[in-house]
A and B are shown apart, each in its own frame.
Chain A
Amino acid sequence: MSFAWLLRRLLLMIYTVAIVCVLVFAITQALPADAAQTLLGENASPEALAAVRTRLGLDDPVWLQFVHWVARAVSGNFGVSMRTGLPVAPEMLTALSRSLLLAAGSLALTLLVAVPMGMFAALRQGRVADTATSVIAYLGVSLPEFVTATVLALLLTDIVPWLPATGYVSPLENIGLALRHLALPVLTVSVILVAHVMRMMRSETLDVLQSDYVRAARLKGLPERTVLVRHVMRNALLPVITIVALDVGYLLGGIIVIEEIFAIPGIGRALMIAITTRDLPSIQAGAMIMATTYAITNTLADVVYALLDRRIRYD
């Protein structure tokens, strides 16, 4: 990994965020909502409306509004929520931290389950266990999140009565209750991710199993366990990292639905509320934060991948 490559990758990330800025601003500009009207209500006098428009800079040309907006956004100021009157950015970042908790839990559970499952399926290639796992994987990717979530809630809240169906408790307040509230959402997200990661792990393991170094390790007389863990798993995991990073993008989208269903006050739900109430600053902040998070994870994944795999030379 050369310095020039790293620099190029960072520039690419910045370019990505810049494009997202343009898109988000363009889309919210086109929203059929008059910010001044939303702020003052239906019965506002024309003079008051005009005053607010001047104050918010709504009469400026669009490009000037864009420049102002970007300048403020870069310093972390996305304006004031039209719904609550509070600054948007801190609220959204708090929401993001709750979402990240959910995402991290789901990723951890996914890797714990999917990696062994994928390897197992590959070792049993073509047999019943392999077929069974691929059927499960197929179901996982073919069910939309809202279906998985509702069906899991239907099944589990009946069987496990102490599992709350909705709501959120901060782990700083009560760790036990927090985990209980997170159980169902984490499980739902994981069901979908496991399907994806497992399929990838299976096909990578199959590739590695046919490689010369695995045959050499076996011929050397290494115990099967050592071969599988030290040689097969290590090498098969590498491409899976990239897939997991790409799944983070999916995760951020899927989290909107999951948070809506389980009533978790994360960034997805905040964004849904912003969209239904046409709260422009909140929509802009939410969309920007989500897309930026994704751009950062993608860059990190590329860097980690390059660090782990010394064979890759990017120039």
Chain B
Amino acid sequence: MTELLQRMIRKPQGVIGLTLLVALAILCLLGPWLAPYGPEKMDFLGRFRAPGWQNWLGADQFGRDVLSRLLSGARATVPMALAATLAGSAIGAVIGIGSAYLGGKSDEAIMRTNDAVMAIPGLLMALLLVSTLGNGAGNAVVAIALAFAPGMARVTRSVALAVRNQDYVKAAVARGEAAAHVIFREMLPNVMGPIIIEATIRVSFAVMLFATLSFLGLGAQPPASEWGLMVADARQYMHRAPWILIAPSAAIALSAIAFNLVGDALRDALNPRDDR
């Protein structure tokens, strides 16, 4: 574990990514306590106040402190993306490994169907699912998870195919172990590496997708200080008070970049041969 960390911080990208990630974790855990004001505390004298010593990142159309909203909004955004990615990866991993385990015609059928499901663009799939499940943060998470599953299944299956032909898996099948045992105890541990790398990079897509759904009014609902929702609210005032718009946009971008960088660093650290 420490060796992996050392490898990840060999490049500046890894250092930046990990630093951003730690900062993000602190925000999610301690955000509301670090905030100078309450996220919904209005101040009508301070409407559209420019960034300054009173409101470090300025105030919005109700005089609410942008920094405080950003800090308490972290936990309305990042954990949701994490949960969606985790669930999607889990579903995808089970489909992918299961398909590789079955092999032959069933594998072909499962993967062709999987490819077909992937033909629906992620955002479209998420939109359709949210429209069925109803608006809301929880339903958005479910929709993103389901939209991610086919992609994860394909990645997992390609790794699992190689593992399927390893002697220890063949031995387990020959011993007459149950399918669940072979899939979860023999194959899963050996495909975890690539799954984790892919999932880490996908968290950044999940952050963006979740914010997009909220932006479109289908995810988190007002008065939540979810970041995508903050951008949507700020748009009509963008010429008058650009800081309300820029602060949450930057927060979304930085979180997406953090997971992207860490994912890339993980991949480099686990593939020592590839120097590019």
Instruction: Provide the B120-144 mask, 1 if CB < 8 A to any CB of A, else 0.
Output: 1111100111011010000000000
A213 at the interface (CB under 8 A from B): no
- The CA of A299 and the CA of B178, in the complex, are separated in Å by 39
In the complex, which residue of chain B has the Cβ closest to the Cβ of A252?
B121
A147 contacts B252, CB within 8 Å?
A: yes
- The CA of A260 and the CA of B218, in the complex, are separated in Å by 13
B113 at the interface (CB under 8 A from A): yes
Instruction: Provide the A30-46 mask, 1 if CB < 8 A to any CB of B, else 0.
Output: 11100000000000000
A102 at the interface (CB under 8 A from B): no
Instruction: Provide the A282-315 mask, 1 if CB < 8 A to any CB of B, else 0.
Output: 0100010011001100100000000000000000
Residues of A within 8 A of B194 (CB): none
B128 contacts A283, CB within 8 Å?
A: yes
Residues of A within 8 A of B117 (CB): 19, 23
Which residue of A154, A250, A257, A294 contacts B238 across the interface (Cβ within 8 Å)?
A154
B216 at the interface (CB under 8 A from A): yes
B120 contacts A287, CB within 8 Å?
A: yes
A260 contacts B238, CB within 8 Å?
A: no
A257 contacts B116, CB within 8 Å?
A: no
B121 contacts A141, CB within 8 Å?
A: no
Residues of B within 8 A of A23 (CB): 117, 120
Which residue of B113, B128, B129, B257 contacts A142 across the interface (Cβ within 8 Å)?
B257
In the complex, which residue of chain A has the Cβ closest to the Cβ of B12?
A131
A150 at the interface (CB under 8 A from B): yes
Which of B22-30, B90-98, B239-247 lies at the interface? B239-247
Q: Given A20-B116, A150-B238, decide whether A290 and B276 contact each other with a Cβ distance below 8 A.
A: no
Instruction: Provide the B226-252 mask, 1 if CB < 8 A to any CB of A, else 0.
Output: 001001100100110010011001001
B174 at the interface (CB under 8 A from A): no
B216 contacts A260, CB within 8 Å?
A: yes
A-B contact count, CB below 8 Å?
127
A111 at the interface (CB under 8 A from B): no
A15 contacts B128, CB within 8 Å?
A: no
Q: What's the tally of chain A residues with a CB closer than 8 Å to chain B?
A: 49
Q: How far is the CB of B77 from chain A (nearest CB, A)?
A: 12
Most buried by A among B119, B122, B134: B119
Q: How far is the CB of B188 from chain A (nearest CB, A)?
A: 27
B212 contacts A154, CB within 8 Å?
A: no
Residues of B within 8 A of A294 (CB): 119-121
Q: How far is the CB of B131 from chain A (nearest CB, A)?
A: 5
Which residue of A19, A24, A256 contacts B113 across the interface (Cβ within 8 Å)?
A19
Q: Given A19-B113, A150-B245, decide whether A275 and B212 contact each other with a Cβ distance below 8 A.
A: no
Instruction: Provide the B85-124 mask, 1 if CB < 8 A to any CB of A, else 0.
Output: 0000000000000000000000000001101110111111
A150 contacts B249, CB within 8 Å?
A: yes
Which residue of A20, A28, A153, A256 contacts B120 across the interface (Cβ within 8 Å)?
A20
- The CA of A287 and the CA of B124, in the complex, are separated in Å by 7
- The CA of A141 and the CA of B204, in the complex, are separated in Å by 9
Closest 10 CB pairs of A and B: A253-B121, A19-B116, A253-B123, A144-B208, A16-B116, A142-B256, A142-B257, A147-B249, A275-B131, A146-B215
Q: List 27 A-B contacts (CB under 8 A).
A: A18-B116, A19-B117, A19-B119, A23-B120, A30-B132, A138-B257, A142-B204, A142-B256, A143-B249, A143-B253, A144-B211, A146-B211, A150-B235, A153-B238, A154-B238, A154-B242, A158-B239, A249-B119, A250-B121, A256-B123, A257-B212, A272-B127, A272-B216, A275-B127, A276-B217, A294-B119, A295-B119
